[in-house]
Amino acid sequence: MDDNVAVIGVGLGKVGELWEKSLRDLATESIWMAFEDSGVDKVDALYVGNMSSGPFVEQEHIGAMIADFAGLGSIPAVKVEAACGSGGAAFIEGYMAVKSGLYDYVLVTGVEKMTDVLPSRTTSILANASDRDYEAFHGVSFVALNALVMKRYMYEFNVKREELSIFPVISHKNAPFSKHAMYRKEITLETVMNSPIISDPLSLMDCAPICDGSASVILCAEKKAREFTDTPIIVSGVGIATDTLGVHDRKHITTLSAAVEASKKAYKMAGVTPKDIDIAEIHDAFSIMSALSIEDMGFAKKGEGTKMALEGQHYIGGDLPINLYGGLKARGHPVGATGVYQIGELVCSLRGDGRVDAERGLAENIGGSGATISVSVLERGD
Amino acid sequence: MDVPRHWREQIRRYRLVGSKCKDCEKLSFPYRNVCPKCRSRNCEDYQFIGRGKIISFTNTNSPPKEHKYNMPFAAALIELMEGPVITAQITDARAEELEIGMKVEMVTRKIMEYNEAGLLCYGYKFRPIVEYAHP
Amino acid sequence: MKPSKSVGIVGYGAYIPKYRIQSTEIARVWGNDPNLVPIREKSVPGADEDSVTIAIEIARNALMRAGINPKELSSVWVGTESKPYAVKPTSTIVAEAIAATPFVSAADWEFACKAGSETVQACIAYVGSGMAKYALGIGVDTAQGAPSDALEYTAAAGGAGYIIGSAKESLAVVEGSLSYVTDTPDFWRRQYEHYPKHGNRFTGEPSYFRHVISCSKALMEELGTKPDDYNYAVFHQPNRKFPLEVAKILGFSKEKVIDGLISPYIGNTYAGSALLGLAAVLDKAKEGDRIFCTSYGSGAGSDSFSLKVTDKLADRKVEAPSVKSYIERREEIDYARYARYRKKIRM
């Protein structure tokens, strides 16, 4: 308990096409939700998870901007960027800041404002997460890149499209309960299978939506956390790793090596194995990523990432419930903010929201096509 | 129009020039300044032959704006015969005509242009092999 | 004309895009009589093809047959009337793509359909003078015909290129060549116009026929040869009729023309026309064969060449795709797709 880090406050802003809200509005709101939830109203440092504020809203320097407009004072504030893995990466930076003893209370805010530009521009900006000169330049959109991985996976392991498309259905199952989610309805496998193909074999419903959103969490030492609550949520293990930028340079096209590495590091630090994980927030930006994440974090053998999903084990009541607040597919994927949403939602589940009695959970956040992956293990501190 | 950025990539795009590590002989495409295998900085240009096989492909229904003029086209991961895997468009063939394992060869085609008055960017694409068929 | 050093063709390359539109389809759209179309079908470049990309493949094929180091080329000259940049040479892009740079001469040439043979003429001089060891000349076009105009039936895409070197390395030696030029405005395109204009029947007797006949006769006279001395005759082929007619007038039998007459199957590739016909002949020719070739370009002029095949052709010709393999590689498209690829739809 000596130097454990805990999460004491969570703010989960609404996700959607929030025309009325600017980037600074979104960040300020989730920050003050977190303050209210935590019982503190001051922090010593801010880490912002954001992928592309520059291209989306022509604003950089958002660490300072948010510290300014959210009334945080003259605290150190920086942006942490790892494409759609920015949130998870920012969270781990915040974790390290508290762990080092340099800061007592640290705020991690994920925020992304994607809807101010035309969809064609958004697609182009998202392609910045891939290899611009050797992937995007050739007309390979981000969806196409994931489709290439999916097709290879289906070929190598003899997996059918329907087996992967079960993941959006699973994420949506938890959507009605999730008040901040962009989509609040369940969907059927038929709906996913019948939705238009964006890049064969990925269909519209296999992909997370473009949206705006901001989530914030507040971290401090477990010792201090116990001044606020008897069951602080402890960050028991973190791991982050990188892989080659381009899919073409991966050792195996169908393995997320960064997930293998990051999860191993997190499990080791937490002193656990995959069997000890009760719930997980996984990065279901594309159906294929869900299957690969399950496999590469050690929950299933290679090629069998859809097995538990098809057996219903990922629903609440099963062996490993996932994406309890809708995941990227239903809650939404405001790219740089997603990783912080995952942490916040994990904390809510572990605190007990009446649906699942979980002691330990995991959040996995992927940047790009897998070039950055962070895994955080959180557990109830009782 | 990012002229210097495109100009700088010319020999890579026109001729499929990657790199070879002088110390461990590992071949890379795209080129590398630091060898991914042995971390040596002793890398030199290497000319790939341009033959390979498709290891995955996808038909893109909504490519980036500058590529809409060329629809429909398939994007693919191609394993060059020398080993490295490359991401490129398939040309002269639609997705329906492709299959994993198909042998392909490199050609130089127009990749994109910055509108009607802007720079034309040419580069590598791959097509099913054209037989020599001599009369 | 003969250079002081004997030269010949060291390598040749051809390329034709795979798409085809049938003349009957064009006739259908414009309500013309399908029985009166001038050729069967023509080639259409794909959306990602243009004179640059076609020239690059031609150059690569020529290099494969020549078997030389591209850095030994002293020139990369491209003759075309459909260059993507009005100002900025196609030739430098080709030169860079084949790794011939930087010690090379590069420029784009224009003389309507004889721009390609012009470059070959210049290559002969370049090598023949001793200035260059090898020189590459290419004729290529992605020609445009105005919608519903007669030329729309034949304006096609493709081309061929020739690497000239010393005679002893050649697969076909140049026995002599000649150029014949007058100011004859039978066909032109003003700078900002999208489509060319032509003089209809004026493009026949005073233009095509006068220059092809005069040039051919003059070269044979200079060399002291007759049509009977040749195994093959290749002429600029805007359609099927003209080359057969001019062959008859000059005294070449139909059999000698037929192997080099490919426009009925792929259309008129403009600056590539005569050169592609010549490549088709080289694909078939044998050691000792003599080939007579006359191009024609509106504006107007002709280049004539007399060639003799050596023992090197047999081994070299198989090193790259034949004209036949490109002709047989075809995918039929309709007028709508053709209009889209040829950018005839105003966006």
Mean pLDDT to the nearest integer, A179-188: 97
Hey, CA dihedral for C269, C271, C276, C277, is it positive or negative? positive
Residue in C71, C67, C169, C162 with CA at minimum distance from that of residue C122: C162
Interface test with B, best of A117, A248, A250, A288 (most B CBs within 10 A): A248
Q: Which residues of C323-344 are buried (b: 16+ CB within 10 A; e: fewer)?
A: bbbbbebbeebebebbeebbeb
Distance (Å, whole) CA C137 – CA C90: 12
**A233: its two tokens:** 């949520």
DSSP string, A349-370: HHH--SS---SEEEEEEEETTT
Which range marks the domain in which residue C294 is found?
A: 174-312
Residue C1 lies in a domain: no
| Average pLDDT over every residue of A56-67 | 98
Q: Is residue A354 part of a domain?
A: yes
* Residue whose structure tokens are 């499209």: A161
Tell me: the pLDDT tens digits for C156-210?
999 999 999 999 999 999 999 999 999 999 999 999 998 899 898 999 999 999 9
Q: Which residues of B touch C54 (CB under 8 A)?
A: none
Same domain, A172 and A306: yes
Q: Is the dihedral of CA B7, B12, B15, B20 positive or negative?
A: positive
Q: Is residue C275 part of a domain?
A: yes
B69 closest CB neighbour out of C47, C56, C320: C47
Contact of B9 with chain A, judged by CB distance below 8 Å, is answered with yes
Q: Are residues A158 and A106 in the same domain?
A: no
Q: Which of C98, C99, C325 minimises the CB distance to B130?
A: C325
Judgement on whether residues A109 and A240 belong to the same structural domain of the protein = no
CATH (domain of A110): 3.40.47.10
Tokens coding A380: 């109830």
Q: How far apart are CA A138 and CA B63, in angstroms?
A: 10
Domain contains A263 = yes
Together in a domain, C188 and C277: yes
> B-chain residues within 8 Å CB-CB of A148?
56-58, 75-77, 87
Structural domain including A11 reads: 5-118+211-225
Spell out which residues of chain C touch residue B125, defining contact as CB-CB under 8 Å: 48
Mind listing the pLDDT tens digit for each residue in B41-94? 999 999 999 999 999 999 988 888 889 999 999 999 999 999 999 999 999 999
Whether A140 sits inside 8 A of B66 (CB atoms) is no
Check CB contact of B70 with chain A, cutoff 8 Å. yes
Measured CA to CA in angstroms, residue C76 lies from A164, C105, C126, C172, C192 at distances of 53, 6, 11, 20, 27
- For residue A382, what pLDDT band results from cuts at 50, 70 and 90? confident
CB-CB under 8 Å, B9 with A144: no
Q: Low-confidence residues of chain C, pLDDT below 50?
A: none
C124 and C138 part of one domain = yes
C149 and C23 share a domain? yes
Shared domain check, C273 and C195: yes
Compute the nearest-CA separation of B130 from chain C (Å): 7
- Residue A176 shares a structural domain with residue A48: no
Give yes or no: residues C56 and C40 share one domain.
yes
CB C141 within 8 A of CB C117: no
Report how far apart, in Å, the C-alpha atoms of A41 and of each of A170, A232, B78 are: 37, 18, 54
Using a CB-CB distance cutoff of 8 angstroms, which residues of chain B are in contact with residue C324? 133-135
For residues C13 and C160, membership in a common domain is answered with yes
Best of C12, C48, C326, C330 to disrupt the B interface (most B CBs within 10 Å) is C48
Both A148 and A30 in one domain: the answer is no
Are A218 and A250 contained in the same domain? no
Is A131 inside a domain boundary?
no
- Chain B residue with the nearest C-alpha to that of A252: B85
**For chain C, which chains pass the contact test of at least 3 CB pairs under 8 Å?**
B
pLDDT value of residue B33:
96
Element holding A234 (H helix, E strand): strand A233-242
Q: Do the Cβ atoms of A90 and A206 come closer than 8 Å?
A: no
Mean pLDDT for the stretch of residues A357-374: 97
Please check whether residue A44 lies inside any domain of the structure. Answer: yes
> Does residue B114 surpass a pLDDT of 90?
no
Q: Is the peptide bond before C300 cis (omega within 30 degrees of 0)?
A: yes
Same domain, A161 and A44: no
| A271 and A325 belong to one structural domain | yes
The pLDDT assigned to C145 comes to 86
Q: Could you tell me what percent of chain A has a pLDDT over 90?
A: 96
Tokens at C90, concatenated: 């196609």
Measured N-to-C along each axis, helices A23-38 and A62-69 cross at an angle, to the nearest 10 degrees, of: 60
A172 annotated active-site? no
CATH number, domain containing residue C227: 3.40.47.10
Distance CA(A59)–CA(C151), nearest Å, equals: 55
In whole angstroms, give the CA distance from residue B80 to residue B52: 4
The answer as to whether C346 is a domain residue is: no
Q: Which two tokens stand for residue C17?
A: 């895009």
Residue B125's nearest CA partner among B48, B42, B14 is B14
C interface mutation test: which of B73, B89, B91, B109 has the most C CBs within 10 A? B109
Residue with tokens 């196409």, as numbered in its chain = A144
Instruction: Share the mean pLDDT of chain B.
Output: 94
Domains, chain B, ranges and CATH? Answer: 3-128 (2.40.50.840)
Same domain, C19 and C165: yes
Q: What pLDDT score was predicted for residue C194?
A: 87
- Per residue in C207-245, pLDDT (tens digit) is 999 999 999 999 999 999 999 999 999 999 999 999 999
How close is the nearest chain B Cα to the Cα of A228, in Å? 49
Number of domains in chain C: 2
Asked if residue A355 and residue A242 are part of one domain, the reply reads yes
- Is the minimum CB–CB distance between B134 and chain A shorter than 8 Å? no
Please provide the size of chain A in residues: 382
Residues C162 and C41 in one domain: yes
Q: Identify the band that residue A1 occupies on the pLDDT scale cut at 50, 70 and 90.
A: low
**A103 and A200 assigned to the same domain:** no
CA B130 to chain A, closest CA, distance in angstroms equals 22
Measured in angstroms, the CA of A140 and the nearest CA of chain B are apart by 6
Residue A107, pLDDT above cutoff 90 = yes
Mean pLDDT for the stretch of residues A289-295: 98
User: How far apart are alpha carbons C196 and C82 in whole angstroms?
Assistant: 11
- Write down the catalytic residue from C41, C49, C57, C81: C81
Asked if residue C322 and residue C292 are part of one domain, the reply reads no
Check whether residue A194 and residue A221 sit in a common domain: no
User: What is the share, in percent, of chain B residues with pLDDT greater than 90?
Assistant: 85
> Is residue C194 annotated as part of the catalytic site, yes or no?
no
Between CA C54 and CA B108 the distance in angstroms is 9
**Residue C64, both tokens:** 């494969």
Structural domain count of chain A: 2
A199, A217: one domain: no
Same domain for C137 and C25? yes
Residue A90 pLDDT greater than 80, yes or no = yes
Nearest to B112 by CA among A99, C86, A128, A132: A132
Is the pLDDT assigned to residue B134 strictly greater than 80? no
Residue B133 pLDDT greater than 80, yes or no? no
- At position C293, the amino acid (one-letter code) is C
Q: Which chain B residues touch C98 with a CB distance below 8 Å?
A: 15
Q: Does B111 touch chain A if contact means CB atoms closer than 8 Å?
A: yes
Distance from CA of C320 to the nearest CA of B (A): 6
Is A362 within the bounds of a domain? yes
